[in-house]
Amino acid sequence: MRLRPVALALALAAALTVGAALVFEHGFGYVPCKLCLTERIPYYLAAPLALVAAFLPPRPARALLGLVALVLLYGAGLGVYHAGAEWGFWPGPTDCGGGSGAAPEAVGDFLKSLESVRPVDCSTAAWRFLGLSLAGWNALIAAALGLAAAAAALGLAQPSTGPHQPGR
């Protein structure tokens, strides 16, 4: 397994995944809940870390990809927790609300907006595709990327290149 292409692919996939979430939010108007926003953090970390790993020598690159794997697998766990709360398998956070929107310019407008604002509930899926919510898809994507990063970090699926060949 060549580290540079894998690291670049991980960086691109992480950036595209969080980019898709931003398109759902800003392009299609899906307001994210607190957990949705939290689930993006691993991607914000993984993309630049994987990009840096692509340009390091093999040993530090593998170590950094190991960190990327841990970050993404943590993100997968967040997605599982969120999807489970949506399916009612366990309770979601009690303080879940979040989202986006323009801040009112005047105090009177702000007070009036409080009458109609409803925080986004983490236990309600806003959208499903093939039976999975965005949180469920996030869990699968983060797990797949995390396992790919782990495989690269551990040197798995590496063609036999001999004992003195670098893994690049």
Q: String of b and e for 102-132 (b: at least 16 CB within 10 Å)?
A: eeeeeeeeeeeeeeeeeebebbebbeeeeeb
Give the least confident one: 8-17, 34-43, 63-72, 142-151.
Answer: 34-43
Choice between 124 and 55, residue whose per-residue pLDDT is larger: 55
Are the C-beta atoms of 7 and 61 separated by less than 8 Å? yes
Question: What global pTM score does this model have?
Answer: 0.73
Instruction: Examine the pLDDT at 160 and tell me if it is beyond 50.
Output: no
Q: What is the mean pLDDT of the chain?
A: 80
Question: For residue range 61-94, what is the model confidence (pLDDT) as tens digits?
Answer: 999 999 999 999 999 998 998 888 887 777 767 6
